[in-house]
Amino acid sequence: MNELNFSKAGEEPRVSVVIPVYNGGAYLDRCLEALQASSYPVAECILVDDASTDGATETVVQRYPVRLVKLEQQCGPAFARNWGVYHSSGEIIFFVDADVVLQPDTISTAIGAFLQDESIDAVFGSYDDLPGDRAFLSQYRNLVHHWVHQNGATEAQSFWAGCGAIRREVFVSIGGFDRDAMRIEDIELGHRLHQAGYKIHLLKDMLCKHLKIWSLFSILKTDMWSRAVPWVALMQREGEAFDNLNVNAASKFATALTGLLVLSLLGLVLAGRWVAVVPFLVLIILCIPGAYLGERGDSHRWRSYLSIALTVAGTLSALLWAADTQVQLLLALLPLMLCALIVASQWPFFRFLNAIRGSGYLLAAIPMQLVFFIICGLSVPLGIAQSRVRFMQEKLDPGRLPENADRLFVRDA
């Protein structure tokens, strides 16, 4: 049997790795294999199976010396992580998702930060720019995450449990993850840490690889119901607007512009000026093939040029076709100009895509970014409504347990 390294006596803190998993057998093997190759000696790995039904977890863990803790019913990742900490003994708790592959020096980078600055209480890292799945949607989703974290402030106000570490005594003192945080339990934990005066650092050289295969449906579902809506509800509950990571001024501005774009398109259609919408639709449709025409590397540069040429030529042709009068031209230009402003507001991200994947990926990301900002816009009223409903439930039912009352409080080893 392969064996993990174990902490040596001395100044090196004991590290307990906690991995929640639910039907993650397809990725778990690679996750544990990478953990085994860690350059930092891991004291223990606690794998918490959240009542998986695929039967793969037991098969995978037979090949690795990990401690498997099984839950009889599905309780969610917040409870699973808390339960893993309860069964751990390390001074540093390192959280990893089951579909994440650490680099050999990932844990060492985290521990180095703790040892270098004793005031740091928690750290988290970033996905690398080489996602495990090569399909465009998986590439796009993970590269967005990489870009956001690589350009975030070092002193963070949030936390990420996909690849993050925290001092055990701090985790215990803050009460662990909130089971009622609706899939943003790590963000909520980071907010509580920040509010309590604890110091969180985003380490941009603390890298890992994400293996998840994304589909359009999973992106829409995750971004809307597992990220944007609960994040807005959290901001509403706390009475403050966050300004970190992807909740920054540029993103808020792009969301507002996207709202104007959607309203302009609806207005044109309702006014019977649907022809003025055609050039914008042609632009969006022609951007999509760019994911396949544009590739990284000089040998495929001609395909990137081809994708740009097709998009520009097709959009101009549609604009000339729709602009039979000066008024019609101005109406057709309106959504195109708003789209150009949105791209300009996010240009550093698009420039990043162009540098590592080519202009084709840049073009194909435009429709995805518009979808993302539409989700952000819709999430504002939905998040506020969700927060209000919860407030009314608490007000109408005085006997209701206070929020976080069912949180699993971890023991102090």
Taking the C-alpha atoms of residue 25 and residue 28, their distance in angstroms, rounded to an integer, is: 5
Distances from the Cα of 165 to the Cαs of 16, 93, 119, in angstroms?
Answer: 10, 5, 14
Residues contacting 61, CB < 8 A, separation 6+: 28, 32, 47, 68
- Could you tell me which residues come within 8 angstroms of residue 372 by beta carbon, excluding any fewer than 6 positions away? 144, 223
CA dist 347 → 133, 250, 298, 309, 339 (Å): 25, 10, 22, 20, 12
The owner of tokens 């005085």 is 398
pLDDT of residue 413: 39
Please, what sign has the CA dihedral across residues 80, 108, 202, 169?
Answer: positive
Instruction: Kindly give the interhelix angle for 326-345 and 278-287, rounded to the nearest 10 degrees.
Output: 40
The pTM (predicted TM-score) of the whole model is 0.88
**326-345 vs 249-270: helix axis angle to the nearest 10?**
160
Given this model, what pLDDT does residue 393 score? 53
411: confidence class by pLDDT, cuts 50, 70, 90: very low
Q: Rounded to whole angstroms, how far apart are CA atoms 281 and 286?
A: 9
Separation CA 73–CA 354 (nearest Å):
45
Pairing between β-strand 122-127 and β-strand 200-210 as defined by DSSP bridges: parallel
Per-residue pLDDT at 12: 86
Does residue 251 have a pLDDT over 60? yes
353's CB contacts (< 8 A; 6+ apart) are 143, 361, 362, 365
What does DSSP say about strands 44-49 and 15-21: parallel, antiparallel, or unpaired?
parallel
Task: Name the more confident of 401 and 130.
Answer: 130
User: Which one-letter amino acid corresponds to residue 142?
Assistant: N
pLDDT digits (tens, 9 = 90+) for 328-357: 999 999 999 999 999 999 999 999 998 888
DSSP string, 170-195: HHHHHTS--TTSTT-HHHHHHHHHHH
Judge whether residue 234 has pLDDT over 80: no
Mean pLDDT, the chain, as a whole number?
87
- What pLDDT is stored for residue 387 in this prediction? 67
- Calculate the CA 100 to chain-centre distance: 13
pLDDT bucket at 112, cuts 50 / 70 / 90:
very high
Distance of CA 270 to the CA centre of its chain: 36
CA atoms within 13 A on the CB side of 103: 17
